Amino acid sequence: MISFDLPRTVDEINPRQWETFAPYFEELEKRPLSPDNLRQWLTDWSDLTRLLFEAASLIYIEKSQDTTDKEREQAFLDLINDVYPQAQVAIQTLKERLLAVDPASDALADMTMVLRNMQNEASLFRQENIPLFTEAAKLENEYDKVTGALKADWNGEEKNLSQLGLFLNDSDRSVREKAWQTIAGLWLSQRETLNDIYGKLLTLRQQIAHNADLPDYRAYAFREKGRFDYTPEDCLTFHEAIETAVVPAVNRILERKKKRLGYDALRPWDWVPEKGSMVDDSGGDPLRPYQGQEALIQHTLNIFNKLDPQLSRYFAIMAEDGLLDLDTRSGKALGGYCSSLPLRNRPFIFMNGVGSHDDVQTMLHEAGHAFHVFETADLPLVWQADPPMEFCEVASMSMELLSAPYLTSQYGGFYTSPQAARARIEHLEGIIAFLPYMAVVDAFQHWVYTHPQQAADAHQCDAMWENLLDRFLPGIDWTGHEDSKKTGWHRKLHIFTTPFYYIEYGMAQVGALQVWRNSLKDPVKALSDYRQALSLGGTRTLPELFASAGAEFRFDTEMLTELVSLIEETTAELEKQTLS
Ligand SMILES: [Zn+2]
């Protein structure tokens, strides 16, 4: 037998060329399989996948840390042009080999969900789609580049979108307005370019679906995302439940804000749904919880220490091993993410922190994802540690809510008690306000991908987006900024780069709110259920994972009404604490 001596770290290989990985895949393709060596074969394949995924993760991380570095961009392009396409073919061959094995084999006893996913992926695979994926990845990268390069002069200093975004939280309305107008101007300056990128993506995605013998890209995306436990119709039902149970609650929040602030109307710079920032009506100064990465790490560590010593150990490992890149810098890609490095079983967190409360929230959120990586580290095969996305976000969103009681400096957190109460109100109201926006983003894509002819015309996309805003977010007065209203879909990265990936956030929020509800009654049990559910990785169905975390996988009006009431009761309590 050929030896299967994999490199132990990515440092030992050149991850930018397929030849690095090819001999190992070839060996796995050729190795004779028997019931006796099936498990070893799977383990070897899993280890090779860890090496490949870790290499890819590192290339992606390095590119996002400096989008102006040509060498890093080239590494990424090599990966998507050379390594990925050939890896996909090789992986497909291995999947077909595995799926030909008797599924009752002992070696596969813990692989039910993995086999279900692989069966699905293998049946969706089409050789002719591979160049189309490459083409789409380039266009998605183009969106990142165009938006990452957007910069404007702000009082004599050049600022990127993340840096300008900080001023959307300013307590001075004229500063918010100026920041919003600056940002809106930058986006509109790229209107044609972004329409063009999206148009090309739509054509490609439709072709990908047709090649896979599916009627449209929605049908394809549901299969590709492994959405076995809900249908497009369930999503539409969720939208309706949001319209019934959540939109009125958002309107109550907006009315209170208008009254307290003495505004006739809330303008787009008072509520920026794609950023989740809503004008603060508490009368206090804007929260500036920390300065610089070290302070963010220390306070976060303190909070986790109060919540659960094991979680705090996980976070400390990340800090010690350089797995946190948290401050914004010129040239960094936008946004924040948690990536996994499956070879060393560690997560990596990337952010664009500027010292705002949003950054604290992002930190807690991404840490929840990171804990998921740590909790699944003992699962033997790489695919078992890959949970469904809807549940990944339960891990992160629950962590935001479970950490909330420890935000005060009394626990080593960021705030005085009244500030923490304000921050928590803002968070809870942000959750309510997010759901209708989520429905807009999801409903928009349901329409786009089931109406490809109409959606090929960017003006019709604009019109649909405007309709959905009127349905779900009627509380913003856009007078004078109609173009920015219609083109709001440009400002949502997911619509371009991860199509249909958004309802996961809504579903997960409903799950996370239930975890939080449970924690109000029994915090110890809620946290232990949470960690237990995380440790299951991808070895259970979505309803089972939710159940393990103490939540129901349900998105109807009754469920949303219950959770909205709980939030409204809690914020009323917290209001009293803001006065103390
Ligand atoms: Zn997340």
Q: How far is the CA of 503 from the centre of ligand 1 (A)?
A: 12
Q: How far is the CA of 431 from the centre of ligand 1 (A)?
A: 14
- Asked whether 404 and 430 are in contact (CB, 8 A), the reply is no
Model confidence pLDDT, tens digit, residues 174-188: 999 999 999 999 999
Q: How far is the CA of 23 from the centre of ligand 1 (A)?
A: 35
Q: How far is the CA of 456 from the centre of ligand 1 (A)?
A: 30
Q: How far is the CA of 350 from the centre of ligand 1 (A)?
A: 12
- Cα separation, 111 vs 101, in Å, equals 12
Give the helix/strand (H/E) hosting 339. Answer: strand 337-341
List the structure tokens of 188: 């509109």
Q: How far is the CA of 422 from the centre of ligand 1 (A)?
A: 23
Q: How far is the CA of 44 from the centre of ligand 1 (A)?
A: 30
**Does the pLDDT of residue 293 top 90, yes or no?**
yes
Give Dmax (Cα) for the chain: 78
Instruction: Kindly give, in sequence order, each residue whose CB lies less than 8 Å from that of residue 282, ignoring residues fewer than 6 positions away.
Output: 422, 425, 578
- Cα separation, 402 vs 523, in Å, equals 9
Q: How far is the CA of 109 from the centre of ligand 1 (A)?
A: 31
Instruction: Kindly give, in sequence order, each residue whose CB lies less than 8 Å from that of residue 347, ignoring residues fewer than 6 positions away.
Output: 318, 323, 338, 339, 340, 341, 369, 370, 372, 373, 374
Alpha carbon of residue 451 to chain centroid: 26
Q: How far is the CA of 96 from the centre of ligand 1 (A)?
A: 32
Query: What is the per-residue DSSP string for 451-500?
Result: -HHHHTSHHHHHHHHHHHHHHH-TTB--TT-HHHHHGGGGG-HHHHHSTT
CA distances from 76 to 50, 58, 60, 291, 447 (A): 18, 10, 7, 32, 32
Model confidence pLDDT, tens digit, residues 152-175: 999 999 999 988 998 998 889 999
**Does the pLDDT of residue 14 top 50, yes or no?**
yes
Q: How far is the CA of 504 from the centre of ligand 1 (A)?
A: 9
Q: How far is the CA of 434 from the centre of ligand 1 (A)?
A: 14
Report the predicted TM-score, pTM, of the whole model to 2 decimal places: 0.92
**Cross-strand partners of 408:** 415
Q: How far is the CA of 505 from the centre of ligand 1 (A)?
A: 8
**Does the pLDDT of residue 286 top 80, yes or no?**
no
Q: How far is the CA of 367 from the centre of ligand 1 (A)?
A: 9
In this predicted structure, what is the pLDDT of residue 283? 82
In this predicted structure, what is the pLDDT of residue 580? 65
Q: How far is the CA of 494 from the centre of ligand 1 (A)?
A: 12
- The three state secondary structure string of 155-214 is CCEEEEHHHHHHHHHCCCHHHHHHHHHHHHHHHHHCHHHHHHHHHHHHHHHHHHHHHCCC
| Percentage of the chain exceeding pLDDT 90 | 91
User: If you average pLDDT over every residue of the chain, what do you get?
Assistant: 95
pLDDT band at 1 (very low <50, low <70, confident <90, very high): very low
Phi, psi of 480 (to 5 degrees): 90, -10
Query: What is the per-residue DSSP string for 513-540?
Result: HHHHHHHHH-HHHHHHHHHHHHHTTTSS
Q: How many CB atoms lie within 10 A of CB 459?
A: 10
Q: How far is the CA of 36 from the centre of ligand 1 (A)?
A: 40
**Cross-strand partners of 174:** none
Quick one: which of 324, 378, 370 has its CA closest to 346? 370
Give the type of residue at 120: N
Q: How far is the CA of 450 from the centre of ligand 1 (A)?
A: 27
Q: How far is the CA of 17 from the centre of ligand 1 (A)?
A: 30
- Cα separation, 429 vs 417, in Å, equals 18
Q: How far is the CA of 326 from the centre of ligand 1 (A)?
A: 15
Whose tokens are 């948290």? That residue is 326
In this predicted structure, what is the pLDDT of residue 394? 98
Q: How far is the CA of 339 from the centre of ligand 1 (A)?
A: 10
CA atoms within 13 A on the CB side of 383: 19
What SS3 class is residue 503? Answer: helix
- Cα separation, 315 vs 367, in Å, equals 7
Q: How far is the CA of 338 from the centre of ligand 1 (A)?
A: 8
Q: How far is the CA of 571 from the centre of ligand 1 (A)?
A: 24
What SS3 class is residue 338? Answer: strand
- Asked whether 432 and 277 are in contact (CB, 8 A), the reply is no
Torsion sign across C-alpha atoms 457, 462, 467, 469: positive
Q: How far is the CA of 366 from the centre of ligand 1 (A)?
A: 6
The radius of gyration computed from the CA coordinates of the chain, to the nearest angstrom, equals: 24
Q: How far is the CA of 400 from the centre of ligand 1 (A)?
A: 11
- Asked whether 467 and 303 are in contact (CB, 8 A), the reply is no
Mean pLDDT of 248-261: 96
Q: How far is the CA of 260 from the centre of ligand 1 (A)?
A: 33
DSSP state of 18: G
Q: How far is the CA of 363 from the centre of ligand 1 (A)?
A: 10
**Cross-strand partners of 340:** 347
Strand order in the sheet with 337-341: 324-327, 346-353, 337-341
In this predicted structure, what is the pLDDT of residue 3? 58
- Asked whether 522 and 397 are in contact (CB, 8 A), the reply is no
Q: How far is the CA of 513 from the centre of ligand 1 (A)?
A: 15
pLDDT band at 403 (very low <50, low <70, confident <90, very high): very high
The pairing of strands 337-341 and 324-327 is: unpaired
The size of the chain, in residues, is: 580
List the structure tokens of 31: 């190795």
Q: How far is the CA of 336 from the centre of ligand 1 (A)?
A: 9
In this predicted structure, what is the pLDDT of residue 377? 96
Q: How far is the CA of 332 from the centre of ligand 1 (A)?
A: 19
Model confidence pLDDT, tens digit, residues 484-508: 999 999 999 999 999 999 999 999 9
Q: How far is the CA of 362 from the centre of ligand 1 (A)?
A: 9
- Asked whether 575 and 420 are in contact (CB, 8 A), the reply is no
Model confidence pLDDT, tens digit, residues 361-380: 999 999 999 999 999 999 99
Q: How far is the CA of 468 from the centre of ligand 1 (A)?
A: 24
What SS3 class is residue 89? Answer: helix
Q: How far is the CA of 66 from the centre of ligand 1 (A)?
A: 22
**Does the pLDDT of residue 429 top 90, yes or no?**
yes
Q: How far is the CA of 508 from the centre of ligand 1 (A)?
A: 9
DSSP state of 333: P
Q: How far is the CA of 52 from the centre of ligand 1 (A)?
A: 23
DSSP state of 9: S
Instruction: Kindly give, in sequence order, each residue whose CB lies less than 8 Å from that of residue 470, ignoring residues fewer than 6 positions away.
Output: none
**Does the pLDDT of residue 136 top 90, yes or no?**
yes
- Cα separation, 492 vs 440, in Å, equals 11
The pairing of strands 324-327 and 346-353 is: parallel
Whose tokens are 């209708």? That residue is 436
Q: How far is the CA of 397 from the centre of ligand 1 (A)?
A: 7
Q: How far is the CA of 516 from the centre of ligand 1 (A)?
A: 17
- Cα separation, 221 vs 227, in Å, equals 9
Q: How far is the CA of 500 from the centre of ligand 1 (A)?
A: 15
- Cα separation, 53 vs 79, in Å, equals 11
DSSP state of 66: -
List the structure tokens of 456: 């090929």
Q: How far is the CA of 395 from the centre of ligand 1 (A)?
A: 8
